[in-house]
Amino acid sequence: MLFPRRIRTTQCDAQLDASRFQRLEKTVGRLHAEIEGEIDDLRACYDSVAASAAFSQQAVETEGRADLSPKVEELTGVLIRCADRLARLDRQRRFITALKETIAAFDGGYPRPDRNESGRQKSEHSPDLARSA
């Protein structure tokens, strides 16, 4: 057999590629949301632990509550671990954000209906979008 049994149209290939990239964009979007949620939760925890550590340290210093020193040390360790985790999450967030931008800019060799001639995202006020509506 000289030719493949089935040859798709360019339009079919473009639709398949667009579908694939839409799924990729959704997956990366979900990862971004997960990271943002973890950052928000961890910041709230960090703030709470920082307040507890500050009050405990103040009690040690002003009231002579030496019994709270181990608690201050433990809370300090928690703060350090939280700060380390926040730094890792921030790095992940920057990577995912760059990935989202790369995906959005990738055209796959086909014109994208959500982009204008220059490859930029069409806005609601774009004349291209108004014509297609």
The structure's pTM equals 0.71
What one-character DSSP code corresponds to residue 5? S
Residue 123's φ and ψ, nearest 5 degrees, are -105, 170
**Per-position b or e across 80-106, b if 16+ CB within 10 A of its CB:** eebeeeeeebeebbeebeeebeeebee
- pLDDT tens column, 60-109: 999 999 999 999 999 999 999 999 999 999 999 999 999 999 988 887 66
Alpha-carbon distance of 46 to 83, in angstroms, equals: 8
Q: Where are the alpha helices (H) located in 1-133, listed in sequence order?
A: 10-63, 69-105, 127-132
| Domain spans in the chain, listed from the N-terminal domain onward | 27-106
Rounded to the nearest angstrom, the gap between the alpha carbon of residue 91 and the centroid of all alpha carbons in its chain is 10
Give 53's Cβ-side CA count (13 Å radius): 15
Residue 115's φ and ψ, nearest 5 degrees, are -125, 150
- pLDDT tens column, 25-39: 999 999 999 999 999
Alpha-carbon distance of 79 to 9, in angstroms, equals: 58
21 confidence band (pLDDT: 50, 70, 90): confident
